[in-house]
Amino acid sequence: MGSCFSVRIKAESPLHHGADPRNRSKGGHDVSGSSSAVPSTPRTEGEILQSSNLKSFSFNELKAATRNFRPDSVLGEGGFGCVFKGWIDEHSLTAAKPGTGIVIAVKRLNQEGFQGHQEWLAEINYLGQLDHPNLVKLIGYCLEDDHRLLVYEFMPKGSLENHLFRRASYVQPLSWNLRIQIALDAAKGLAFLHSDKAKVIYRDFKASNILLDSNYRAKLSDFGLAKDGPTGSKSHVSTRVMGTYGYAAPEYMATGHLTKKSDVYSFGVVLLEMISGRRAIDKNRPSREQNLVEWARPYLGNKRKIFQVMDARVEGQYSLKDALKVANLAVQCISPEPRFRPKMEEVVKALEQLLESNDNEGSRGSRHESLRKVNRNSNNGPRYHRKSTAETCDGKAASYPRPSASPLRT
């Protein structure tokens, strides 16, 4: 789920028509989650759909659930298509009246979009079988005539991107402690994907693909670009370059060699975004500040200069020691040399230790206290910014994470 400020890199089809070239192993890793067994042989489209633990919705069911895809139900938009808010019965999963049952997010494929059927199928292939507290839950899909839709759990707080970069009076800045907790949640999601049981490379880790539930618990979304990791003695997976400028690892962009460390680099970029409040790529800034990694790197290890990187909106909520710890972790993740980047399990441990030390010191309070700070003087319900429908579908105002932006064709 992309951003109107980011551009997807020239793409390949994640899956080939009729067959899945991935060799899947059993999914699962207890970074506090679990996964079901995944076949280890290439599978056809039919096998992927039949083996997934998902509900097959009819188009009319989803049409009813979203009130005929009404314009005022639009949550966001991107290269894949529009995302609509809907309601289904908790037990039967049939369409329900607005305000009853459970809320869902329905992503509808734009038939004229660049990404299309293969990324739709990739979402089902992964999220239909992998289960973890820090992965967004895919409830079902629709494959009927030319219609391609995906049905997800609704994430009331939208995307991390919106909370970091939207400047509006009704959007409360995330506290320092909450930012670290969100980073930890996202790190756990990546560590699960990288585990020996799952062996998945996410390939599109960015702030707009990190969704937040009602308690600001972070979950990874959008698996259209995910790939199985290397098997046997192979050190990497060779692909055409895909992803988002500013987040993709330099060696991957240069060679097309994809590894777990490619995801680690992307995590480091997002961690920088979280502590700085700046976008990975921001063309609205002076030329020397447009690339966050290049601009921030000289300041990150300097005790006197580190505060030039830090987001002013969390000033006073952290110590110099904490700032340097997080900055050092980001520096390790964005190392130009992949072998010097930590494993995601190591990142998880580092962030856990940071939060634990904060709680022991009692200097910044618990997650619950952070939530109170975020919600103070604000509405408790979902924060959606609605302008005209046309503007929302242009991706200019959508507050819910948008599907991935169209790939850049060269």
Predicted local confidence at residue 360, as pLDDT: 66
Domain with CATH 1.10.510.10 in the chain: 158-360
Cα separation, 310 vs 294, whole angstroms: 15
Look up the pTM and report it: 0.79
The two tokens of residue 30 are: 């207890």
Look up 89 and say whether it is catalytic. Answer: no
Lowest mean pLDDT among 102-111, 265-274, 364-373: 364-373
Cα separation, 121 vs 227, whole angstroms: 12
- CATH numeric code, 49-153: 3.30.200.20
Residues 152-173, mean pLDDT to the nearest whole number: 87
H/E element holding 40?
A: none
pLDDT digits (tens, 9 = 90+) for 74-92: 998 876 789 999 999 999 9
Catalytic residue among 204, 222, 311, 322: 204
3-state helix, strand, coil in the chain (%, to 5): 35, 15, 50
Dihedral Cα 100, 106, 108, 114, nearest 10 deg: 160
Lowest mean pLDDT among 152-161, 367-376, 380-389: 380-389
Task: Return binding residues for ATP.
Answer: 107
Q: In the CATH scheme, what is the homologous superfamily, with its name and number, of domain 158-360?
A: Transferase(Phosphotransferase) domain 1 (1.10.510.10)
Relative to beta strand 19-20, strand 82-88 is unpaired
Domain with CATH 3.30.200.20 in the chain: 49-153
Predicted local confidence at residue 203, as pLDDT: 92
**Residue 152 binned pLDDT confidence (cut-offs 50, 70, 90):** very high
pLDDT digits (tens, 9 = 90+) for 281-330: 999 999 999 999 999 999 998 999 999 999 999 999 999 999 999 999 99
Task: Return binding residues.
Answer: 107
Cα separation, 346 vs 94, whole angstroms: 43
